[in-house]
Amino acid sequence: MAKLTATPLSALVDEPVHIRVTGLTPFQVVCLQASLKDEKGNLFASQAYYKANEVGEVDLERDPSLGGDYRGVHPMGLLWSLKPEKLLSRLAKRDVMNSPYQVHIELRSPYFPVKGIAISPLMDSLTLERWYVAPGVTRILVKEGRLRGALFLPPGEGPFPGVIDLFGSTGGLLEFRASLLASHGFAAFALAYWGYDDLPSHLEKIDLEYFEEGIEFLLKHPKVLGPGVGVVSVCKGAEIGLSMAVNLKRIKATVLINGPNFVSSDPHVYHGQVNRPVPCNIEFVTTNALGLAEFYRTFEETADKDSKYCFPIEKAEGHFLFVVGEDDKNLNSKVHAHQATAQLIKSGKKNWTLLSYPGAGHLIEPPYSPLCSASRIPFVIPSISWGGEVTSHAAAQEHSWKEIQKFLKNHLIPDTSSQL
């Protein structure tokens, strides 16, 4: 009798699971299917075909998928290849504290997905719990002065290295990365800056004093290790993260995931000084075969060619980790990162690391997250292509997440580098 097992059944979303099947006939071909529903009820699903070995066993850590949503040996392929039934949906957990994603895994005989052909009977099934927060992590809703966000603290007295977490043009308050960072020992402050609570409903300017207040708030907390903080940022958030590193004090480590090295839109303001947006070439926006907008060429004639438009990154005192998806269709992230590192090299700086991933798209997220290759965002009329090839993107997420944590610990915890 066929038996499906997974170890562990309950884990953080960035932790691997060992999936096995036993009790099959020798060399039997089976179909493994995964599915989950997000908080809005949107269905995400995947499947892969496997052939048992001579003793009737399938082990996803050893055996290749023969077809389906991915091919080859990929122990976590069923999770990172999940695709939305409703196109243009992004899997982004909102309530990170109170409920996990329930991922249902089913074992069946293969069948053709054609009308009139019955789905083969269920052979076995199980449910995985995928959590965004570890036991003991606490969440503090922040509404102090102008600041709006959520602070996540690991269990224990600390002090813990402090990190400010910034997302981009989706707006609102996204907490899933900060909650995971806290699960790995960081005091992580998910900082909203528009489209949330009483913050501006749309961006008109980037007030760097607001983010400076965020740094001061974080460092004042008794469980946060000083004297500086880290920043983890993506897209528009990475533009702000770089601007913070250049203009503000006490930023020791900045992670920039697929962001521009210039002001792309909305002026940056700091103590009366205004850094205005770079001119763009709207005529270079393209639409792909699926009708999705690709914006990565819009600065081809300005910032991509001339460093005079770029942030003076050489003035920053902290360290940088650039994370680049080379198939990013929203920003020319590879060019932007190479420009920034060239500026640092020219100034004799060695305070940077570049991770560049062929086949990875714009939205590089924690490991085993499904690729979101296209979605809608507020105030942009067409749907946006983010790029990415499923398998390559998954590999980039798994590798970069480990490197991000290592980088932050190296530069925020005294003497960590000597202990690695």
Euclidean distance between CA atoms 134 and 136, whole angstroms: 6
User: Where do you find CATH 3.40.50.1820 in the chain?
Assistant: 138-412
Please name the helix (run of DSSP H) or strand (run of DSSP E) that holds residue 274, with its range, or none: strand 273-275
Q: What is the pLDDT of residues 161-186, one digit of tens each?
A: 999 999 998 899 999 999 999 999 99
Q: What is the pLDDT of residues 332-360, one digit of tens each?
A: 999 999 999 999 999 999 999 999 999 99
| Residue pair 259/333 in contact by the 8 Å Cβ criterion | yes
Euclidean distance between CA atoms 44 and 139, whole angstroms: 28
Q: Is the pLDDT score of 305 beyond 90? A: no
Give residue 416's pLDDT: 53
Q: What is the pLDDT of residues 37-75, one digit of tens each?
A: 999 999 999 999 999 999 999 999 999 999 999 999 999
Give residue 188's pLDDT: 98
Q: What is the pLDDT of residues 2-14, one digit of tens each?
A: 999 999 999 999 9
CATH of range 3-131; options 3.40.50.1980, 2.70.160.11, 2.60.40.2240, 3.90.800.10: 2.60.40.2240
Q: What is the pLDDT of residues 217-266, one digit of tens each?
A: 999 999 999 999 999 999 999 999 999 999 999 999 999 999 999 999 99
Mean pLDDT of the chain: 96
User: Where do you find CATH 2.60.40.2240 in the chain?
Assistant: 3-131
Its pTM stands at 0.96
Give residue 363's pLDDT: 98
Question: Pairing state of beta strands 122-131 and 10-12?
Answer: parallel
Q: What is the CATH number of domain 138-412?
A: 3.40.50.1820
- Using pLDDT thresholds of 50, 70 and 90, give the confidence band for residue 418: very low
- Using pLDDT thresholds of 50, 70 and 90, give the confidence band for residue 111: confident
Helix/strand/coil (H/E/C) assignment for every residue in 356-369: EECCCCCCCCCCCC
Using alpha carbons, select from 90, 228, 184, 230 the residue that is nearest to residue 402: 184
Q: What is the pLDDT of residues 353-409, one digit of tens each?
A: 999 999 999 999 999 999 999 999 888 889 999 999 999 999 999 999 999 999 999
Question: Pairing state of beta strands 319-325 and 352-357?
Answer: parallel
Residue positions annotated with a catalytic role: 235, 328, 362
